[in-house]
Amino acid sequence: MAFVNDDNITEIALQRWGTAHAPRMAELMTALVRHIHEFAREVELTEDEWLAAIEWLTATGQASDDKRQEFILASDVLGLSMLVVQLNNRFSPAATPATVLGPFHIDGSPPVPFGHDMSDGLPGTPLFITGKVTDTDGKPMPSVVLDVWQADSEGYYESQIAEVDEARLRAKYQTREDGTFCVRTIAPLGYSIPMDGPVGDLIGKTDISHFRPAHIHFLIDEPGHRKLITHLFQNGAQYLDSDVVFGTKDALVVEFAERPAGETPDGNSIDQPYLHATYDFVLEPTSG
C-alpha cells in the first residue's frame, strides 16, 4: 500500500479523481486538483491561511440568497467571470461583444411596449436608447426580446433596496417588424459593488477600485442565434478604465447625447431635457 507523502499525494489524488464516470468531469476535477496542489506548493500555503480561505468561502456562501449572489461577485472581481465569457463567446468581429451577466439579473421582468418608461417616475435624467437588432448579414430581426435592467440614479439595483419587492428599472422590450426598438428609462449612475460582505472585505485589503462605470444590461436570447449578454456603457463615465469586474469594451461604449425638451425618439414629447443613446445589436447565428 502506498501511503501519501509530499512527493506522491498529487499523483494519488489525480488517480482517484480520474475515476469520475463522466469523461468531462474527470478532465475538470483532475485539472482542478493539479492546479490547486501546484498553487499550495508555489506559495507554501500555511494551515492558518487555508483555514482563513475556508472561512471566507463559507461566509461567501452564507452571504448569498435569492437576491444576492456573493459567489458571482467573487468570480467577477477575480476576472474569472469575464474570462469564461471570453472563452465561450468568441463571436465574429461583426457581432456585438458579450460581457458579464453580473449578480443582479432577475428572471421574469415584465414585457412592455415600444418606448415604455421602465423608470416608472423614478428621479433621474430621462434616457432613451434606440437602435435595431440585426444578424451579422445586416438583416433586421423582428419580434426579438431585449431583457433590460440597470441601477438607478443613485447606483442601486432593486435587490439592494429592502423595501422594494417588485419590478424596478427592468423590463422586456420587443423589436418591431423593421428590427427597431426604443427603451425609455433614466440615466444610471456608476456604483460601488457591495462592500458589506466577504468580497468587499477582500477588496478593501487592496488598492483595487471597487466601482463600476455607468451602464445598462441587455440580454437577448433569440432562437437560431448565439445568446448575447452585454452592457452599454456611457461614454465619458467614471471608472471605464478600472471596471472592477473587467467588463468594459470599446465597442460597448456609447454617447449619451444631450437633447432639449420637445419631441422624443418614440414619437412623443417631453417637457425637460433628456439623453439619447443609439446602438445596433448584432446577433451571431448558431452554426449549422
Judge whether 56 lies within some domain: no
The candidate with the shortest Cα–Cα distance to 129, out of 217, 203, 15, 194, is 217
For every residue of 158-207, DSSP letters joined together read GGG-TT--S--SEEEEE--TTSEEEEEEE----EEPP-SSHHHHHHTTSS
Cβ neighbours, 10 Å, residue 14: 16
For residue 212 the three cell numbers come to 463600476
Give the Cα separation of 264 and 274 in Å (integer): 9
Asked if residue 32 and residue 172 are part of one domain, the reply reads: no
Q: Residues 141, 252: one domain?
A: yes
The number of distinct structural domains making up the chain is 2
Q: Is residue 51 part of a domain?
A: no
pLDDT band at 66 (very low <50, low <70, confident <90, very high): confident
Residue 164 pLDDT = 73
Residue numbers of the domain that contains 8: 1-45
Q: How confident is the model at residue 103 (pLDDT cuts 50, 70, 90)?
A: confident
Same domain assignment for residues 114 and 8: no
Tens digits of residue pLDDT in 182-230: 999 999 999 999 899 999 999 999 999 999 999 999 999 999 999 999 9
List the single range of 31-35, 43-47, 87-91, 284-288 with lowest mean pLDDT.
Answer: 284-288
DSSP, res 268: -
| Confidence (pLDDT) at 1 | 61
Global pTM value? 0.90
Question: 146 and 15 in one domain?
Answer: no
Segment 245-278, tens digit of pLDDT: 999 999 999 999 999 999 999 999 999 999 999 9
CB 35 within 8 A of CB 43: no
Q: Please indicate, yes or no, whether residues 2 and 121 belong to a single structural domain of this protein.
A: no
Does 87 share its domain with 203? yes
Residue 91: exposure state from Cβ atoms within 10 A (0-12, 13-18, ≥19): middle
